[in-house]
Structure 1
């Protein structure tokens, strides 16, 4: 009977809330007692991922947002394009240096 209850939407939400409570209690216990079977607190908690998947199930556009978030975590944000800097702004001195690119022009 309990399996049938968790196959309904309200049952699934109740199960996810219970899972989130267990996950937070596990994180608290890991911080306090350093449990050997728990990993460190890096990234999002597992319960947040589960609730995000439930949200994406009901709102199809959120799936695209989750994919964008996942891609932005994978890709590095480079400061430049690996070329030597052509501009330099020194706010303290009040100067700006702009160099023309070398090559055929």
Structure 2
């Protein structure tokens, strides 16, 4: 095996590749089009060496998949109609 191949398969090469990818994405990528690949790669690399990072990444993934509904949570007391320009406020007894 050549020395170049061994370096390409090493951890420093992976970190260098993620750095180059982050730099390219910074100048090429459009705003608001999802998670950058370099950020996802660095997160996965961190999860390899840090015990709690894997659970944190899984929690973030689940949070992105859940929807927030207006009616979730407290009982409905108030309603704001932005299109109609009115708000109904019901105070608790």
Q: Under a length normalisation based on structure 2, what TM-score does the superposition of the two structures give?
A: 0.67
Aligned residues: 81
- Please give the alpha-carbon distance, in whole angstroms, between the structure 2 residues aligned to 1:2 and 1:41: 37
Structure number with greater Rg is: 1
8 Å contact kept, 1:6–1:15: no
Gaps of 5+ in 1: 32-39, 89-94, 99-105
- Calculate the TM-score normalised by the size of structure 1: 0.61
Q: Deviations over 1:15-44 (max 9, x none)?
A: 2111222222322xxx5xxxxxxxx74121
RMSD of aligned Cα (Å)? 2.9
Q: How does 1:1-105 map to 2 (within 5 A)?
A: 1-27=3-29, 41-81=32-72, 85=76, 87-88=77-78, 96-98=91-93
CA distance in 2, matches of 1:21, 1:3: 24
Structure 2 residues without counterparts, runs of 5 or longer = 79-89
TM superposition outliers: structure 1 runs of 4+ over 4 Å = none
Report the CA distance between 1:97 and its aligned residue.
3.1
